[in-house]
Amino acid sequence: MKLNEEEQAMLDGKYGKGTQLAMKIQVAVGEAFDAPYMVPVTRTHVALSNQEADLWFVEKLVAGGAVCKIPPTVNPSFNLEQFKCITNIEPEDEDIVKRTHEAYKKIGAILTYNCTPYLEKNVPRFGEITSFSESSATPFINSVYGARTNREAAQSALCAAVTGVTPYYGYLLDENRKGEVLVNVEADMKTDFDYQMLGYFTPQKTGFKIPVFNGLKNPSKEALMNLGAQLNTGGNVAIYHIVGFTPEAKTIEDAFHGETPKEIVTITNEDLAKMRADLTDPGGKIDFALFGCPHFTIDQIKTVADIVEGKKLAVPLFIMTSSLSRNLSMQMGFYEIIKAAGGEIVADTCMDQPCWKFLYGKKGVTDSPKCAYYTKRRDMQFVISELTQCVESALKGEI
């Protein structure tokens, strides 16, 4: 790779061992993808995990004196004080949370602990070059805003945050953002939940090619979150286009850069119904309800509050969201309503954190296939359904 004077100085160790390691990794990634040079980034997001490998890496950079040039927002951890009111936290889990917090604070991250930073604290403009990890974030950045990021690892995004640059390859290049398969959506797409199923199912028909969706009408921000999160969970799809909606797809011709689509597929109501049947556990008695993968918006929290107001839940209900949305729910009265019904709104966490050990081996409901996918290894079973039905089932204790 061709490096400028400052980049070479970082690689040579003139900015310390931590920065040197970050640049060494980025050069290796760039050479693996035949990137000719580095380009500056203006925004970064790191999908930290509270897991040993992630913590080992950030502590290694910190020990080498690394500090972020482009401070990243970060993915969920969990709030110790909130969860100590819900369950017992094991000493080793408390330790790793505290060490992770200290390491990311020292390296200069913005401690948002939120998996939807693109809605609140880290919103790019069209064409902006960024470095984002997080499976719902990369499609939203690339597709909805028309900014640019590759599908980064937590580690490579942190390296970009430290060095301020990223290798110039992949979705940073115009030619690699071109649509590859036209997806005619004939399914009805009545709810945000339908976009969960569409996202999870599409890679079964298209592989990991860039889909161009035709037939979608004015999806909500929640629908777009769902679509991207599931495309990047059911598959490895970090960019999509929606004809007449997303910025690089005003027309089919725009989305395919003037070329005729080489492949066309159709997705129907039957396809999405089959996808749902394949993903979900059977109905029956449930032990809990868990939402917020990706983190719930204030509109989704309001939906839950409207359903449970003045009622009592038969099983515990948990909503994961950002600290901003949790505070907002308190100001708007939604938190009080949900709490009175027997539910809880928790900030800064994710279902893939050790604070949920008290739910292991149990069966719940969720509206998110991604939530169910990641918790399989935690021995948590989920019935997957539309949000309204999930909340109503939590009031009954069965679905």
pLDDT, tens digit, for every residue of 373-391? 878 777 889 999 999 999 9
CATH topology of domain 280-396: Aconitase; domain 3 (3.30.499)
User: What pLDDT does 238 receive?
Assistant: 96
Arithmetic mean of pLDDT, 90-112: 96
Q: What angle do CA 206, 211, 217 make, to 5 degrees?
A: 125
Residue 52 amino acid letter: E
Two tokens at 283? 């109905």
- Computed over every residue of the chain, the mean pLDDT equals 96
- 182 pLDDT exceeds 90? yes
Question: d(Cα 218, Cα 204) in Å, to the nearest integer?
Answer: 24
Dist CA 37 CA 148 (whole Å): 16
Beta-bridge partner residues of 79: none
Q: 351-376: per-residue pLDDT in tens? A: 888 899 999 999 999 999 988 887 87
In the sheet where 181-185 sits, what is the strand order?
241-242, 211-214, 181-185, 264-267
Give the pair of three-digit tokens for residue 397: 């204790």
pLDDT band at 157 (very low <50, low <70, confident <90, very high): very high
Q: pTM for the complete prediction? A: 0.95
* Domain 5-174 of CATH type 3.30.499: yes
336-352: average pLDDT? 95
332 in Cβ contact with 303 (< 8 Å)? no
DSSP 96-111: HHHHHHHHHHHHT-B-
Q: pLDDT tens digit string along 33-88?
A: 999 999 999 999 999 988 899 999 999 999 999 999 999 999 999 888 889 889 99
**Which of 76, 45, 214 has the alpha carbon at shortest distance from 140?**
45
Q: Give kind and range of the element (H or E) at residue 277.
A: helix 269-279
pLDDT per position as a tens digit, 196-255? 999 999 999 999 999 999 999 999 999 999 999 999 988 999 999 999 999 999 999 999
What is the helix (H) or strand (E) element at residue 62, kind and residue range? Answer: helix 52-63
Those residues with Cβ within 8 angstroms of residue 230's Cβ, 6 or more apart along the chain or in another chain: 195, 196, 197, 198, 199, 200, 369, 370
Burial class (CB in 10 A: 0-12, 13-18, 19+), 234: buried
Q: What pLDDT is recorded for position 325? A: 97
Q: What pLDDT score was predicted for residue 96?
A: 94
CA 137 to chain centre: 5
Query: What is the model's pLDDT at position 114?
Result: 96
Per-residue pLDDT, 84: 87
State yes or no: pLDDT of 322 exceeds 80. yes
pLDDT of residue 298: 98
- Confidence at 397, pLDDT banded by 50, 70, 90: very high
Instruction: Return the sign of the alpha-carbon dihedral for residues 334, 123, 233, 351.
Output: negative
Query: What is the average pLDDT across 125-148?
Result: 97
Q: How far apart are CA 35 and CA 28, in angstroms?
A: 10
Two tokens, residue 142 = 């690339």
- Cα gap 183→268, rounded to integer Å: 11
pLDDT digits (tens, 9 = 90+) for 41-51: 999 999 998 88
CB 247 within 8 A of CB 126: yes
CA dist., res. 8 & res. 19, Å (int): 11
Residue type, 308: V
| Best CA proximity match to 313, nearest among 283, 343, 271 | 343
Average pLDDT for residues 135-154, to the nearest whole number?
97
Q: Which of 5-19, 178-192, 274-288 has the lowest mean pLDDT?
A: 274-288
In the chain, CATH 3.30.499.10 sits at 280-396
**Local confidence band at 14 (pLDDT 50, 70, 90 cut-offs):** very high
Contact present, 224 and 299 (Cβ < 8 Å): no
- Is the model's pLDDT at 13 over the cut of 90? yes
Q: How far does CA 171 lie from the centroid of its chain? A: 18
Residue 327: the pLDDT is 97
Backbone torsion region of residue 152, taken as left when φ is above 0, otherwise alpha when ψ lies between -120 and 50, otherwise beta = beta
Question: Cis before residue 294, ω within 30 degrees of 0?
Answer: yes
